Every structure is written in structure tokens, then in C-alpha cells.
Amino acid sequence: MVTIDGKKCTLEKEKYNRNFIGDLMSPIIIYICFGREIDYYQTLYSVLSLIKYSDYCELKDHKVIIYTDAPEFFTKFINPISFNIEISRLTAEDLFLYKGGNTFQQVFRVKLALILQTLKTYQRSVLYLDADTYVLKDFSHEIMIDSKESGMCAREGLVRKKKNNNNDLKILQSYPQYFSRSNDLFMFNAGLILIHRDNTSIS
């Protein structure tokens, strides 16, 4: 179980059929933080809670990546080698590209771009955690998924019932291959995103 913004959050898995294709390695856990000092401290607290309250870092194949524009902040508090934590620097050029480059600049695009990059680079499933997420108890046994599963934090209701949802519905209708029933789609909290290594089609 993890907590986001003080609210308890259990992993919601979506399974599309019952043909299980197990993954041989545990997912890589990634964090993304840049720009504000408070986000650095929140991420640090989350990583420390992951180490203390879960068994994830005891797994032989575990790996944590922190994508940040301030790697020196984290190396003051964490020994990356001890816990197999990779601290990857984000440059201003990286962030400009991940936000959309010259086409547009959208900060939320950074999350999707780095999830996709991690999937392709490491060929392993990915568990993304928001900076303001902290771990309450072990969840390492819940994050092994097959290629027909994905996970997010919790359902937050139907998209069609959301106020001012015109833009959301317009986006969904632009991708009928993924969202053929937009009226029945649920919104999910994106503070936790779990994606199998085979599902790089999110691009």
C-alpha cells in the first residue's frame, strides 16, 4: 500500500484477458522530479520509505531510477550503490524535448516520455511513483504483472461525469483504436503507473 497526498492508495490492476505471461524480472521503479526544492525533499522521503517499509530493495533484480535536474541533492543523502539507485540528470534541453519541443510545451508529457524511454532502454516493466508518494507497507508481491495487465493508483469515476470534460472526451475520441467506448471509461489517479515491458505502444 502506498499513500499519495495523505490518502491511502491501493494498486488498481486492469487485466484484459486471463492468458498469463509472467515477467521474469521485477519492474524498475522510477521517480521524476525537477524545478522545485520541495519536490526533491518529497522524492527523497518517498525513496527512503520504499527502502524502509517495502521488500523491493531486497529483491536481487531491483532497480530504482531518479530522473532529476538536481542529482547532487540526492547524493548527499543516499548512497546509490548500496541500494542500486540510478540518479539520472535531466538537462534543460531534455525537459524542453520531453515537454514537446517546438510543437508545444506540456509539463505532464515529461512523465509519459520518461516512462516510455525507460521501457525501451531497459526492456523491463516500469512502476512510476509520484514524488509525493510514500510507502506504508510492502507491495513488492503486487507489482509482478503479465503483458495483458497494467496498474494505476485508484479509480476516480467516469470521464463523462467529470466537470468540464469536453477536452478529455475530444482527446479520447481522437484515438478510437484505444478508446472505442469513451462514455464508459474511468479516470485513474496517475500518481502510480505500472506498465508491462511489452506495452511500449503508449507512444
Domain ranges of the chain: 2-157+186-198
Summarize the confidence of residues 106-120 as an average pLDDT. 89
Q: Tell me the C-alpha distance between 5 and 30, whole Å.
A: 18
Are 31 and 69 in contact, with CB atoms under 8 Å apart?
no
Summarize the confidence of residues 71-94 as an average pLDDT. 93
**Whether the predicted pLDDT of 180 surpasses 50:** yes
Are 4 and 133 in contact, with CB atoms under 8 Å apart?
yes
Q: Quote the pLDDT of residue 4.
A: 45
CA distances from 166 to 109, 155, 156, 161, 162 (A): 20, 20, 17, 11, 9
Sequence-distant (≥ 6) Cβ neighbours of residue 44 within 8 angstroms: 73, 74, 77, 78
CA distances from 107 to 6, 97, 113, 191 (A): 23, 11, 10, 15
**Whether the predicted pLDDT of 16 surpasses 60:** no
Residue 95's pLDDT band, with cuts at 50, 70 and 90, is very high
Summarize the confidence of residues 141-162 as an average pLDDT. 73
Q: Tell me the C-alpha distance between 143 and 168, whole Å.
A: 28
Are 151 and 14 in contact, with CB atoms under 8 Å apart?
yes
Per-residue pLDDT reduced to its tens digit, 28-44? 999 999 999 999 999 99
State pTM to two decimals: 0.78
Q: Quote the pLDDT of residue 9.
A: 56
Residue 25's Cα: distance from chain center in Å? 17
Burial status of residue 164 (CB atoms within 10 A of its CB: 0-12, 13-18, 19 or more): exposed
Summarize the confidence of residues 118-132 as an average pLDDT. 92
Summarize the confidence of residues 3-17 as an average pLDDT. 49
Q: What architecture is the 2-157+186-198 domain classified under in CATH?
A: Alpha-Beta Complex (3.90)
